[in-house]
Chain A
C-alpha cells in the first residue's frame, strides 16, 4: 500500500510519525520510505541512515546557437517565467534560476537555434537500515520548483516499488506544488496535526486538498494534551474523517527527536492497525 504522511502545518511531527511507522513495520516487512520534503529532507537524520547519492536530478534548459539565432525575440516572449531576457538586435540571455525547463522557447524558435541542454536542480540519495530503504530528494538551494524533484524521486523508485510491502511518503509542510506532487497516486493520507488553532487551520486545508485528490484521509493528533483537543475533534467530526491516534506530549519523545532518534509509542501500533498495514 502507498501511504502519505502529511499535515499542512510544519513541525507537527510528520517526519517523527513517518519514521516511527517505518521502524515499527520494518520489524516484519520491507518498507520503502520516500522523503519528499525535498526543500528540507531530514528522515536520514532521524533514522541515522547514511545515504549515498543515487542520481542527479536535471531539467532541461535551452542552449542557444547564436549563429542560427535571428534575434526575433520569440523565445523571450513565450517564456512565462521571464527567464529569457531579450533586447532587440542582441542575442537572448538566459537566467537559469528562473527556468523551469518547460521547453516553450525551443518550440517557439522559428530558426531552430535552440537545443536542449541540462542543468542540475537536485540530487537523489539512497540508504538502508534493516528492512527500511530510505530514498530522499534534495533540491539544490536557489531552485524554485520543488515539485520537479519530487516527481524525479517518484520516477526513480518506480521500478523498485514492487520489491517492498509498503511505500511510505513523507511530504513537506504546506499545501502547494511539492505536496500535491507527493500526494498524487497515494491511497491513504495521514494528516499529522497538533491541537492549536494553527494546527487546525492548516489541517483543514490539507484535508480539503486530499478530498479533491480523491485520497482517503486519516488524522493523527500529536502532542494531543498541550491544549484543548476539541478543536481537532470538531473538524474530524465535521468532515467525517477518522481520528485514528493521539500521541500525548512527552519530554522523552522531544529528547529523542532532538538527539536524532526515531520514537516508539503504542499510538504508532494503533496507526498501523487502523490503516491495516
Chain B
C-alpha cells in the first residue's frame, strides 16, 4: 500500500480539484482510498458530490484543562502557561482558562494537582463515504475552535489505512490543507510521493518552496503540477527554472479554464465535466504512478 499526498503551501491554487480528478483517473487502474486531511476546512468530499459522511465517530485526540474551587492557591499557574491561556479572575479568586488557547499540555496541573482536571475533549468528527466513482473517501472535521489538527490528521490517515487494508486498496490519495504547519506535517509524514500544486504567481512559488522544505525534511520524493500556467507564461518559466535547478520533476501543466469552476459548482471532478481532460489526467496519473 502506497500513499500519494497533494500539498501546495498556498491555498486556492487548485489542490483539491486536481486531487479529485487524479483520484478518479487513477481509480480506473488501481483500487484506491481518497483521504481529506484538511481537517479544519474539510471540503474534499464535496468535490465528489459527497455532502454527508457515513459511519461517523467523534474522536478525542486532545485534552483541555478545567478549573475547580480547589484552585484558589494556584495563582502561580498563570505565568507558567506557555500558551497564555490562563488568567487570574480577581472576583472569584480563581484562575480562568481560555479554552480557545489551551493546548492541554498539563503543565498547570503539575503545579495545581487538586485544582485542575484534565479532560479529554471530543475535538473532531471522522467519517467515510462511498463516492459515485467506485472508491471510498475518508474525511475528518475539527470541532469549532478545537485544537489538535495534527493529531486528527493522524487519526484520519490511520482510519484510511485500515479501510485500504480491508478493501485491498493499493493506493491512498491524501489531499492536505494549505500552509506548512502541524496538519500539513502530519499529512506528509509517511507518504511515498508528494505532489506540490502551484500557480504562476510570486505567492504560489514562494509557498511551494516553503512546503517543499517540509517535504525535504522527511526525504520524500516529490514533483510539481503548475495550474493555470497560461495566466502568466513568464512566471511559469520561472517555476520551471526553479524545478530544473532543484531537480524536481514537473509532472504536468494545466490551463486556466472556467470548466474547473463549473466542476466545483456542480460538485464533480473536472474529468466528469469535460471529456477533454480525460487524456490530460490519464497522462498525469501515468506520470505520477511511474514515480
Contact = CB atoms under 8 A, between A and B. Distances in A.
Contacts of A42: 10, 202-203, 206-207
B34 to A, nearest CB: 16
A184 B98 CA distance: 11
Interface in A43-81: 45-46, 59-60, 78, 80-81
Nearest to A102: B105
A196 B232 contact: no
B43 interface: yes
A153 B40 CA distance: 23
Q: How large is the interface on A (under 10, 10 to 19, 20 to 34, 35 or more residues)?
A: 35 or more
A115 to B, nearest CB: 15
Nearest to A231: B265
Contacts of A262: none
Interface in A123-155: 139, 141-147, 151
A111 interface: no
Interface string B180-202: 11111100000000000001111
Contacts of A198: 16, 43, 46-47, 264
A92 interface: no
A109 to B, nearest CB: 10
A10 B15 CA distance: 10
A104 B177 contact: no
Interface in B153-205: 177-185, 199-203
Interface in A1-34: 8-12, 15
A213 B100 contact: yes
Interface residues of B, number: 64
B275 interface: no
Contacts, number: 195
Interface in A206-245: 208-209, 212-213, 226-228
A40 B179 contact: yes
B150 interface: yes
A248 interface: no
B93 interface: no
B53 interface: no
B244 to A, nearest CB: 21
B179 A201 contact: no
A39 B235 contact: no
B12 interface: yes
A129 to B, nearest CB: 16
Contact of B80 (A107, A177, A181, A209): A107
Contacts of B106: 78, 80, 102, 104
B103 A102 contact: yes
B203 A46 contact: yes
Given A142-B217, A180-B101, 18 more contacts: A40-B210, A42-B202, A80-B104, A101-B82, A139-B181, A146-B182, A172-B179, A174-B38, A174-B177, A176-B39, A197-B43, A198-B16, A209-B144, A227-B262, A257-B201, A258-B231, A258-B235, A259-B232
18 contacts: A8-B41, A11-B11, A40-B210, A45-B202, A80-B63, A141-B213, A144-B150, A145-B182, A174-B41, A177-B149, A181-B101, A198-B46, A202-B41, A226-B261, A255-B232, A258-B201, A259-B235, A260-B201
